[in-house]
Structure 1
Amino acid sequence: MSDGPGGEALLFLTDEQLRQGSEAMFFAYRGFTADPDRILATMAYGRAHHRAIHFISRSPGTTVNNLLNILGVTKQSLNRVLRTLVEDGLVESRVGKADRRERHLTLTEAGAALERKLSDAQRARMRAAYRTAGPEAVAGFRKVLEAMMDPDMRRQYHALKEGES
């Protein structure tokens, strides 16, 4: 068992230490989403639009059903988001060649530019935090995040990571 800088034994944390970790995650998430939220607000978009744009960018040509699975939202709520993104010229929806019931999604040039702007803001914040924390903390943080994922989510996460190579 290793003690961290605050003396916390990593395998035995008190409820108070866990509460502090939960609160830190809430505030970190607020910071992580603040910059994109400001950008999206100027366009009357929200986080659901950001998530859709992000994952369409990560998997160009993804299907609506795959996006539903990744985002864990209802078909109705995703359709509202996609409708505005398509109408505003940020996402293209094409009928599947093999299965005409499928809709394949890709970002347009304008959608890709918006995705870069949103991601650049988040990457800058993460880069600064990672530099402050150091490489061991970054690796540990990633392990903690992965350990918090449900098994299905972890599989989806690893599938996305494998798609990078």
Structure 2
Amino acid sequence: MSVMVSTPVLHPAPAAPSEAPHTAVPYDLIELFFFAYRDFVGDPDRILADYGFGRAHHRVLHFVQRRPGLTIAELLDILQITKQSLNRVLKELVETGFVESRTGTQDKRQRNLHATAAGHELAVRLAQLQAKRINGALTLVGPEASEVIARYLAALIDPSERPKVQDLLAGPR
């Protein structure tokens, strides 16, 4: 069963209450979040390991596949990583034939990134694994929960980043 999750509208977070020195820590939610993330990325990790790739490769490939023509500057902004760390990962993805870097049509100094056929296939395979896990969880909690979950996850995003994320969630270019 496939459940579609609508794009959440990211609203500014309400003003945070003043921090009390003994604010209750929701350890159960923190730990559930860790375990959920571990398993969510664990499925793709096993496949990526066959290629000698890791999570950084997955993130780069995901966004390059979803947004053909993405510039390196845009990718750095999305991932919020250093150019140095991106260069190593991107070089490996280009050298192994999963991503190609093309000269920009408007600005010849710009590099536009595109997933190759092999890159597209791998990115979709990884996304399908994660979709299976998400859809399975939604089946257990009920598809009506997807909107609440989407709002909750959106609320975890830094308020200054929400407009940018909202634009990204609008879908591929």
Sort the TM-score into its range (normalised by shorter chain): 0.7 to 0.9
Alignment map for 1:10-159 (pairs within 5 Å): 15-16=24-25, 18-159=26-167
Whether the aligned pair in 1 keeps the contact of 2:67 and 2:172 (CA below 8 Å) is no
Q: SS at the partner of 1:42? A: helix
- Give the distance between the partners of 2:107 and 2:129, measured in 1 at CA: 37
Provide structure 1 residue ranges, at least 5 long, that are not aligned to the other structure.
1-13
Provide structure 2 residue ranges, at least 5 long, that are not aligned to the other structure.
1-22
What's the CA shift string for 1:100-156, capped at 9, x where partnerless?
A: 221100000000010011111111111100111113322111111111101343222
Whether the aligned pair in 2 keeps the contact of 1:90 and 1:109 (CA below 8 Å) is yes
In percent, how many aligned pairs have the same letter?
A: 48
- Give the distance between the partners of 1:129 and 1:157, measured in 2 at CA: 23
Q: SS at the partner of 1:163? A: coil
Q: Which runs of structure 1 show a deviation greater than 3 angstroms over 4 or more consecutive aligned residues?
A: none
Aligned length: 151
- Give the distance between the partners of 2:162 and 2:59, measured in 1 at CA: 17
- Give the distance between the partners of 1:147 and 1:97, measured in 2 at CA: 37
In angstroms, what is the RMSD of aligned CA positions? 1.5
How many angstroms does 1:164 deviate by?
Answer: 4.9
What's the CA shift string for 1:44-96, capped at 9, x where partnerless?
A: 10000000000111111000000000001000000101100000010010111
**Which structure's relative contact order is higher, taking Cα pairs within 8 Å and 6+ residues apart?**
2
